[in-house]
Structure 1
Amino acid sequence: MEARLRLAVAADGPAVAELARAAVEAQFPAYYHEAQTASAAEHITTLDTALIDDGTYYVLEADGEVVACGGWSRRNKLFNASTAGADERLLDPATEPARIRAMFVRADWTRRGLGRAILTACTDAARAEGFTRLALMSTLPGVPLYKAFGFIEVEPAQLPMPDGVILAGVAMERPIEEIA
């Protein structure tokens, strides 16, 4: 079965939220302890509807089910649980990187190129709007995918969740000009 990429619509919200939570619950225990996984499932899986409203969020569907999702943003928010320094300000493509946001793949669909397909779509769309760099804040399960796509680690990060739980993360960037 093949998955089909399309822009997400508001009606995808419940399926995206369910997929994101299931992905965190399946993949995070290999990297984080139980309380961290539970906090992440609560706080980083909430869909930022601005991504859908902006037309920058994608889903991959197979047999009518969302099996992967992710997107990019032209706004100054790096990840879902972030509030410090985040705002709705539009980024300047000449001086600031577009943000890769909210990437999740259903556990039984990993390692099939779905994350790469979403990242390619994001890269192409951000390039079309004049961006020359991409940035993201990765949780530990995502680091291998992003490295394989050409992102480099900028620095380790501590990601505070709204409930006070801290997740280890990695700030990553890559130029858009490079071929993915």
Structure 2
Amino acid sequence: MALREATRADVPAIGALMRRSVLEVFPRFHDERATASAARHLTVPDTVLIDDGTYYVHEVDGEVVACGGWSRRDKLYTGSGPGASDDRPLDPATEPARVRAMFVRGDFTRRGLGRAILSRCVAAAREAGFRSLVLMATLPGEPLYRSFGFREVRRTLVPLPDGVVLEGVEMGYPLT
């Protein structure tokens, strides 16, 4: 397995992996309607992360089986829709970097791929001067983040554009 920085050429494979991951993993935590909505609205690759060099993919035999990254910009998660400050650079001295768009194919979960991506995010954000990380976890991702050391900030509801509401957990991780 190879962990590497994602490129624009990976966008179709990343999108396909995101959709497959949601369709395979979300049904363990959500009903059919929520899974279908998440597969539509949470699985759009964010090319800003790729262009910033902060998004990573795991490949097995040339196939992308896991992806995820971090951001030095204000947007917290893909499903939040466009926001006026999404592209605003964060101040590493006073604001946390964001962990974003973590997905693992269902048949590759629990093999350390998500943990390896998180470790890469921690190292890179720390090197960029950030003092902490935050993320918005969906229920399928919460166990990974907890086991990695992220702590719950608050439970919340994540509204999707079609009116479906997912349970979410805002989580934080100190880098100092």
- Category of TM-score, reference length = shorter chain: over 0.9
| Runs of 4+ in structure 1 over 2 Å off | 83-86
Q: Identity over aligned residues, as a percent?
A: 61
Q: Which residue of 2 aligns with 1:14?
A: 12
Post-superposition offset of 1:81: 1.0
Aligned residues: 175
Q: Which residue of 2 aligns with 1:43?
A: 41
Q: Which residue of 2 aligns with 1:152?
A: 151
Partner Cα separation in structure 2 for residue 147 and residue 10 of structure 1:
31
Listed one character per residue, the Cα deviations across residues 54-98 of structure 1 (whole Å, up to 9, x for unaligned) are: 100000011000010000000000000113565210000011100
Pair 1:32 & 2:30 matched: yes
Listed one character per residue, the Cα deviations across residues 15-58 of structure 1 (whole Å, up to 9, x for unaligned) are: 00011100000111111111110000000010011000110000
Partner Cα separation in structure 2 for residue 10 and residue 174 of structure 1:
29
Query: Aligned with 2:140: secondary structure?
Result: helix
For normalisation by structure 1, the TM-score amounts to 0.95
Partner Cα separation in structure 2 for residue 160 and residue 171 of structure 1:
14
For normalisation by structure 2, the TM-score amounts to 0.97
Pair 1:139 & 2:118 matched: no
Give yes or no for contact 1:78–1:86 (8 Å, CA) kept in 2: no
Q: Which residue of 2 aligns with 1:79?
A: 77
Q: Which residue of 1 aligns with 2:174?
A: 175
Q: Which residue of 2 aligns with 1:94?
A: 93
Partner Cα separation in structure 2 for residue 116 and residue 60 of structure 1:
11
Pair 1:121 & 2:120 matched: yes
Of 67, 70, 74, which aligns to 1:69? 67
Partner Cα separation in structure 2 for residue 135 and residue 112 of structure 1:
23
Partner Cα separation in structure 2 for residue 54 and residue 163 of structure 1:
30
Q: Which amino acid aligns with 2:125?
A: A
Q: Which residue of 2 aligns with 1:58?
A: 56
Partner Cα separation in structure 2 for residue 30 and residue 61 of structure 1:
25
Partner Cα separation in structure 1 for residue 37 and residue 141 of structure 2:
17
Partner Cα separation in structure 2 for residue 6 and residue 52 of structure 1:
11
Partner Cα separation in structure 2 for residue 53 and residue 89 of structure 1:
15
Structure 2, unaligned stretches of length 5 or more?
none
CA RMSD after TM alignment:
0.9
Partner Cα separation in structure 2 for residue 146 and residue 53 of structure 1:
25
